Amino acid sequence: MFSSVPQFKNAFLKKLEMMFGTSFEESTSREQFQTLGHMIREHVSSDWIKTNELYRAGAKKQVYYLSIEFLLGRLLRHNLINLGVEKVVCEGLGELGIELDQLEEIEADAGLGNGGLGRLAACFLDSLASLDLPGHGCGIRYKHGLFEQKIVDGYQVELPEQWLRHGHVWEIRKTDDAVEVPFWGEIESRMENGRLVFRHLNAETIMAVPYDLPVIGYETQTVNTLRLWNAEPSRFPANADIFKYKKDTESVSEFLYPDDTHDDGKILRLKQQYFLVASSLKAIVNSFKKKNKSLLEFHDYVSIHINDTHPAIAVPELMRILMDEEGLGWGDAWDITVQTLSYTNHTTLAEALERWPIRIFKPLLPRIFMIVEEINERFCKQVWEQYPGDWGRVESMAIIAHDEVRMAPLAIVGSHSVNGVAQLHTEILKNREMNLFYQFYPERFNNKTNGITHRRWLLKANPGLSGLITDAIGGSDWVSSPQKLEELMRFKDDSAFLEKLHDIKQANKERLAKRILDKTGIQVDTESIFDVQVKRLHAYKRQLLNVLHIMHLYNALKKDPEALLYPRTFIFGAKASPGYYFAKKVIKLINCVADKVNNDPATNGKLKVVFLENYRVSLAEDIFPAADISEQISTASKEASGTGNMKFMMNGAMTLGTLDGANVEITDLVGRENIFLFGLTAEEVLDYQHNGGYHSLEYYHHDERIRGVVDQLVNGFFPDTENHFNEIYDTLLGHNDQYFVLRDFASYAEAHQEISRSYLDRNAWLQKSLVNIAKSGYFSSDRTIMEYADQIWKVQSALKV
């Protein structure tokens, strides 16, 4: 139905009539969108079935990626591109007077994630399918994804997100594959035929109903599956309030927790984690059993990856299944479990490490708790035997200690592989945060530097640049082999080519400028440098450093209209966790600075500040291609990897960053002359943190630029904001500026000046931009996934014989 334009048009019109009983002329855009979505699903259904059959019958190992978040965004254009039918559809719709661009806007973002961690999971799915690897996602079908952000009076206001309001055209409900997940109750144990058996009595069960989404690979037959579990009532308990039961049950997949650094200790969150793990493992084991192989070979056919510690209960749950349901002994079950599971750590922030009070964990998951206790006892004994007398070590490493279950130790002990997400991050894990575990299990630790799917973040988001690349290097091979982007290096001294690069950036900036005008009423100068910081709002990411520096530029311009070498437009996008008070104050500050700056005729034409509300995947796709500067300014050692940095680089923006996360690898790839670095190194930050020696007040007193902007937070500089910024002021001075904002200020300001100077040399700037694009192939998630597949999961393409 997609093989030619007339055929497509014909099929589209027929399908539309059948689905909605309406004529094309009468149809709405939503009906047209739904029609196209259904056509795509039908189109892939035979490949989807074939892929599943291949996996079912085949002797090849399957990998399951368990993640509490999948930040998918929209799928329409992405699917069209991967199927290779974008052009036909675009032309066909065009002939019918429909713009694909507009139809795309109908689709709600599937925002089932907070930020980088969830987006990584989505990028990995695309790479798995595109590389023909048998890899599937397992997640939760939250009724409400990440909240919708509105800015009211400069402050963030959260509205519930409603992506399912009009249904999700890509999903298929698999009622017959539903499974039950038990909570609460008691465990009864007794001897049966010489074996201890356990029964879970009086449990409250929740029905987990899977919704499957096809994951369509790029120009291949492979269609993998993302399975999202929905929580529904199971057996209604007798004599119970059925309305309450229904509500309690459904609440398990009602909301995504709007926080990616720490959780608030709610029972519901732990319920969500067990719900995801128990339903996914049940389905995985069921599917394995259809192969009629011995369970002792389970790990030869199944690999299960736990994305951060949220699914770490997979360790005791797999033990439970293997022992209680399948009758294996502890030793065999443990070997299989460890060989099956692998774990990625995503953060070194101590406050982000998950821990559950026993008083919550034990009653909610009674059998699981028993198994965790046993794992802990055996593990502590091993540590004790290796380090006799070292109580401190046992206490630090224990899975259960101080009335808490610690999820990171559980994940490490129960997995054969533990990886960090960028070189520096992995080194910090090995040498500092998880050093004791590294000493104990050195062979388990490894690095897998994150990546992004260049198919979404370059091919789809930046058609202009993609077209230029294809023309330049003679064909679109680079889409399947992103390392080929390196061939662009040939054009480094080709000024005609560099001018084309410039024109594309300019067109992207104009498109974004138009969006900014539509959404905010702010007119930005597309000749100015677009300097962008988009990411979750967090103290360690230091949006505060950025905005304080803008205040300094404003002050400087007021004194000397020539102070800024080149006009700048600062663009922000960021959601703050609803309970994160400080982060919300920073949003308010950005908006206050924007008001002040944008309405001052004295700085007009030189400085603009824009805060784009509701930052999400679809908005991100408009922003990255239009950026000149990528702000990656976290306090060194705090950002595990970052992936926004990679998306900017791939679209030809220059990084302004600290030597943190994957910025280190970016620097190695592009060379010191093609990136703007500033600030403390991770080593220096960690040294300050351990040995002291930093006094933010000294920087306040000795740098009048700093004194100027910090005082402006509290001296009435912003009209009608009495006391609004007291906390920010206190963080910086009273609490000694934990994230070294003032310490790095001067170095940051200097780097900004260097940027302005560099931008003045247009040809040199374009060369730098080209180098960034050419070297970005390394950051394709295809590379990352091949490393996981070869080194951790040991899975191979199912199509290869």
Among 37, 92, 116, 214, binds ligand PLP (CB under 6 A): 116
Whose tokens are 């960034």? That residue is: 772
What does the alpha-carbon distance between residue 787 and residue 131 come to, in Å, rounded to a whole number? 12
What does the alpha-carbon distance between residue 351 and residue 353 come to, in Å, rounded to a whole number? 6
Nearer to ligand PLP, 115 or 139 (CB): 115
What does the alpha-carbon distance between residue 700 and residue 710 come to, in Å, rounded to a whole number? 8
Nearer to ligand PLP, 11 or 574 (CB): 574
Cβ at position 683, least distance to ligand PLP in Å: 22
CA–centroid distance for 537 within its chain: 14
3-state per-residue secondary structure call for 91-109: HHHHHCCCCHHHHHCCCCC
Q: What is the DSSP letter of 217?
A: P
Cβ at position 69, least distance to ligand PLP in Å: 11
Nearer to ligand PLP, 92 or 642 (CB): 642
617 binds ligand PLP (CB under 6 A): yes
Among 119, 262, 310, 444, binds ligand PLP (CB under 6 A): 119
The residue of the chain with the least Cβ separation from ligand PLP equals 644
Strand ranges (DSSP E) for 422-546? 445-447, 529-534
455 binds ligand PLP (CB under 6 A): no
Nearer to ligand PLP, 313 or 662 (CB): 662
What does the alpha-carbon distance between residue 327 and residue 339 come to, in Å, rounded to a whole number? 18
- Point out which span in 40-48, 113-121, 196-204, 330-338 binds ligand PLP (CB under 6 A): 113-121
- Point out which span in 58-66, 207-215, 604-612, 616-624 binds ligand PLP (CB under 6 A): 616-624
Under 8 Å between Cβ of 134 and 63: yes
Under 8 Å between Cβ of 489 and 773: no
Among 67, 220, 598, 643, binds ligand PLP (CB under 6 A): 643
State the Cα angle at 622 between 617 and 626, rounded to 5°: 135
Q: What is the DSSP letter of 385?
A: H
Closest CA to 246 of 259, 232, 258: 232
777 binds ligand PLP (CB under 6 A): no
What does the alpha-carbon distance between residue 478 and residue 465 come to, in Å, rounded to a whole number? 13
Among 535, 552, 608, 743, binds ligand PLP (CB under 6 A): 535
657 binds ligand PLP (CB under 6 A): no
Active site residue 505: no
Cβ at position 622, least distance to ligand PLP in Å: 11
Nearer to ligand PLP, 617 or 680 (CB): 617
Instruction: Tell me, by CB under 6 A, how many residues bind ligand PLP.
Output: 12
679 binds ligand PLP (CB under 6 A): no
144, 299, 460, 535: which is the annotated catalytic residue? 535
What does the alpha-carbon distance between residue 404 and residue 357 come to, in Å, rounded to a whole number? 4
Among 72, 228, 574, 620, binds ligand PLP (CB under 6 A): 620
Contacts of 520 (CB under 8 A, 6+ apart): 610, 611, 612
Active site residue 346: yes
- Point out which span in 38-46, 115-123, 183-191, 554-562 binds ligand PLP (CB under 6 A): 115-123
Contacts of 662 (CB under 8 A, 6+ apart): 421, 422, 449, 450, 641, 642, 643, 645, 646, 779
Nearer to ligand PLP, 365 or 650 (CB): 650
The two structure tokens encoding residue 797: 């393409």
Cβ at position 620, least distance to ligand PLP in Å: 4
741 binds ligand PLP (CB under 6 A): no
Active site residue 575: no
Contacts of 334 (CB under 8 A, 6+ apart): 319
416 binds ligand PLP (CB under 6 A): no
Among 366, 409, 642, 657, binds ligand PLP (CB under 6 A): 642
What does the alpha-carbon distance between residue 518 and residue 543 come to, in Å, rounded to a whole number? 25
CA–centroid distance for 61 within its chain: 26
What one-letter code names the amino acid at 596? K
- Point out which span in 76-84, 305-313, 612-620, 740-748 binds ligand PLP (CB under 6 A): 612-620
Cβ at position 575, least distance to ligand PLP in Å: 8
Please, what's the b/e burial string for 576-592 (b: 16 or more CB within 10 A of its CB; e: otherwise)?
A: bbeebeebbbbbbbbbb
What kind and span of H or E run contains 292? Answer: none
603, 643, 655, 731: which is the annotated catalytic residue? 643
Q: Site residues for ligand PLP, window 260-319 (CB under 6 A)?
A: none
Nearer to ligand PLP, 587 or 617 (CB): 617
Nearer to ligand PLP, 37 or 73 (CB): 73
Cβ at position 647, least distance to ligand PLP in Å: 6
Nearer to ligand PLP, 206 or 422 (CB): 422
Closest CA to 728 of 572, 557, 592: 592
Active site residue 535: yes
Q: Report the 10 Å Cβ neighbour count for 382.
A: 14
Active site residue 454: no
Cβ at position 116, least distance to ligand PLP in Å: 4
Binding residues for ligand PLP, per CB under 6 A?
115-116, 119, 535-536, 616-617, 620, 642-644, 647
- Active-site residue numbers? 346, 535-536, 541, 643, 647
